């Protein structure tokens, strides 16, 4: 059994939100669609301006407008992740979401995962986890497409705790939860 005591920080939540909505490997297709949509829409506006000859008497205005549209397109592409991060910060700072940051005690065993804080206790049997993902800083055990238990890697005080945690995951998570999302996407 592995027992962890920690509190999520607002940065932990923001990183989770960014991962879930933007950075996750499974979101690559969505990111590409977003970028392509921005380029196509703005290219379409530029094409309409060229072919309708709206600026036929003042070509300088046309080139200025096209330049502005290109800058807007680049800003949309480069600011997309920043906008997602701003939404995450807004969500994390909302007074109604402060329960995210209560002190947690989490026990992970062969029976499952028990998460406790001062207002709730939740027991998850292993089949409750439909997907496991991780990055350099976190493990995420998803119970739905949008909800996960967040395990910051910094909370594992020893390498043994982390190895035991990973062993429990490998023993009890289904193959589909462990790697199925990589195959499907």
Question: Is it the case that residue 160 has pLDDT exceeding 80?
Answer: yes
Name the residue with higher pLDDT: 176 or 98.
98
Note the pLDDT tens digit of each residue in 60-111: 877 787 788 889 888 988 899 999 999 999 999 999 999 999 999 999 999 9
**Beta-bridge partner residues of 134:** 139
What mean pLDDT is predicted for residues 131-143? 93
- The strand order across the sheet containing 138-142 reads 131-134, 138-142, 148-152
Question: Is it the case that residue 184 has pLDDT exceeding 60?
Answer: no
Question: Mean pLDDT across the chain, nearest whole number?
Answer: 88
CA 100 to chain centre: 16
Q: What is the predicted pLDDT for the residue at 62?
A: 73
Exposed / middle / buried, residue 49 (Cβ in 10 Å: 0-12, 13-18, 19+)? middle
Question: Is it the case that residue 183 has pLDDT exceeding 50?
Answer: no
Note the pLDDT tens digit of each residue in 113-125: 999 999 999 999 9
Are residues 103 and 94 in contact, defined by beta-carbon separation less than 8 angstroms? no
CA 53 to chain centre: 44
**Share above pLDDT 90 across residues of the chain, in percent, rounded to a whole number:** 58
Question: Is it the case that residue 11 has pLDDT exceeding 50?
Answer: yes
Q: What is the predicted pLDDT for the residue at 179?
A: 63
Q: What is the predicted pLDDT for the residue at 43?
A: 85
Owner of token pair 């200025």: 64
């Amino acid at each position: 059994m592995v027992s962890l005591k920690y509190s999520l920080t607002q940065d932990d939540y923001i990183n989770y939100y960014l991962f879930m909505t933007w950075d996750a490997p499974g979101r690559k297709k969505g990111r590409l669609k977003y970028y392509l949509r921005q380029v196509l829409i703005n290219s379409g506006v530029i094409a309409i301006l060229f072919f309708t000859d709206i600026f036929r008497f003042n070509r300088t205005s046309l080139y200025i407008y096209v330049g502005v549209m290109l800058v807007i397109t680049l800003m949309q592409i480069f600011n997309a992740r920043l906008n997602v991060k701003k939404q995450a910060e807004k969500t994390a700072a909302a007074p109604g979401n402060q329960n995210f940051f209560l002190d947690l005690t989490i026990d992970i065993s062969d029976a499952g995962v028990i998460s406790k804080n001062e207002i709730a206790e939740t027991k998850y049997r292993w089949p409750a986890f439909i997907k496991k993902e991780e990055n350099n800083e976190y493990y995420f055990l998803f119970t739905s497409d949008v909800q996960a238990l967040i395990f910051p890697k910094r909370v594992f005080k020893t390498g043994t705790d982390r190895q035991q945690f990973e062993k429990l995951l490998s023993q009890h998570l289904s193959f589909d939860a462990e790697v199925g999302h990589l195959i499907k996407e």
